[in-house]
Amino acid sequence: MFLWKAGPTLGLLMGLMVPIAMGQGPPTTAPIDKGDQVGPDPRIVALLGPIREKHELPALGAAIVTGDRLIGVGVVGVRRLGDPTRATHRDTFHIGSCTKAMTATLLALLVRDGKLTWETTLEDALPDLARTMDPAYRRVTIEQLLAQRSGFSAESAARDLSILQMHALPGTNREKRGAYLKRILGEPPDVPVGQRFVYSNRNYVAAGAIAEKVSGQEWESLITTRLFRPLKMGSAGFGAMGHGNRVDQPWQHLVKDGKVVPVGPGPRSDNPALMGPAGTVHVSLADWGKFAAAHLRGAAGKSGILPAEDFRRIQTPATGQTYAFGWGFADRPWGGGTVLTHAGSNTMNYAVIWLAPRRDFAVLVVTNQGGEEAEKACDEAASAMIGLHLGAAKG
């Protein structure tokens, strides 16, 4: 399951901050496009260590970025429980549904290209499926998909297609997405179209399939060429991290019957690949920070991979809504007002991101374990990173 939540349950919700680690020296910053060359920040490492130990996680990592700099990054713990190999700040971590903001940004690039508009309907974007889709879906717009207001069921599995069967669909990822989309569009909406928020991975799979239709490229290739490469996110990939039985990247960890079980990499050790646009990206913290920084620069009126006005468009929900374009929106005093956030998990990893555009910084936190303790630890770590950054800024 890929997750999004309106806000954390710990320090950030209450406006509290974890005490800042003192006496470790200033963080080592670097231009954002050179962030992957920076070593671990000792202050971040010092803050993360006790949090990881408290929640008994294999690894825990975090980064702080501004619109133009990586302020600091750190990772503590091991890649795999039972193996002594240490996790590093250059390792990649699965970010689950935090992928959604990337897919929405990709759609914005296609809108800028003139291949789509935000008002393009499913009927117009997918004419080959128009006759077989439930009539209620024909007028659903791309903007409604990305705001989770299409009427789709919250269930990722289709009525006649289980998760296991989704793994087994034949063909390329694009062909699998097409087969899946035909099934889910044939089901009636769960709620009236456009009237209610229902968080559903189906919305972002559909958006990815539309991107494939208008570009002629598979989503994985398209997002790599249009987003990852221009932002120099060289570590970004898809699915489980690592290769075979080697511990060359963090392994995922599943909590089952109260026990933490390492899960090795493989084609079925993530959600089905066709779900990619909804949440299968893995990436290093420094490279994920480059994506966050691009959004911060856009919010500050600076153009980049998109013109500033396009960034503002995909950072603004409709009146009365709190979710749009792969971001949840909330008011936080530490952020100076509205902040953007998302969390993600495939049940074997957990990640959360917070952007504070009005104060030009973002925090990103990852762990290679799923479950309640992972969520709590990431919230505590995010709070610690915010406290560290704001405390350093005052100093």
- pTM of the complete model: 0.94
What residue ranges define each of the domains in the chain, with the CATH number in brackets?
A: 11-98+232-394 (3.40.710.10), 102-225 (3.40.710.10)
Q: What integer pLDDT is reported at residue 1 of this predicted model?
A: 44
Taking the mean position of all CA atoms in its chain, how far away is CA 271?
A: 14
- Rounded Cα distance between 281 and 95, Å, is 6
Q: What integer pLDDT is reported at residue 267 of this predicted model?
A: 85
- Rounded Cα distance between 6 and 18, Å, is 21
Nearest 10 degrees: Cα torsion 230, 142, 169, 266: 40
Q: How far apart are the first and last CA of the chain?
A: 41
Residue 31 CB contacts under 8 Å (≥ 6 apart), including other chains = 68, 69, 70
* 353, containing H or E segment: strand 350-356
Q: What integer pLDDT is reported at residue 15 of this predicted model?
A: 43
* 383, containing H or E segment: helix 372-394
CA 166-168-172 angle, 5° bins = 90
Per-residue pLDDT of the chain (395 residues; tens, 9 = 90+): 445 454 443 344 334 444 444 445 555 688 888 878 889 999 999 999 999 999 999 999 999 999 999 999 999 999 999 999 999 999 999 999 999 999 999 999 999 999 999 999 999 999 999 999 999 999 999 999 999 999 999 999 998 899 999 999 999 999 999 999 999 999 999 999 999 999 999 999 999 999 999 999 999 999 999 999 999 999 999 999 999 889 999 999 999 999 999 999 998 999 999 999 999 999 999 999 999 999 999 999 999 999 999 999 999 999 999 999 999 999 999 999 999 999 999 999 999 999 999 999 999 999 999 999 999 999 999 999 999 999 977 65
Give the Å distances, CA to CA, from 205 to 209, 316, 359.
Answer: 6, 22, 33
User: Around 77, how many Cα atoms within 13 Å sit in the side-chain half-sphere?
Assistant: 29
Helix, strand, coil abundance in the chain, percent, nearest 5: 40, 20, 40
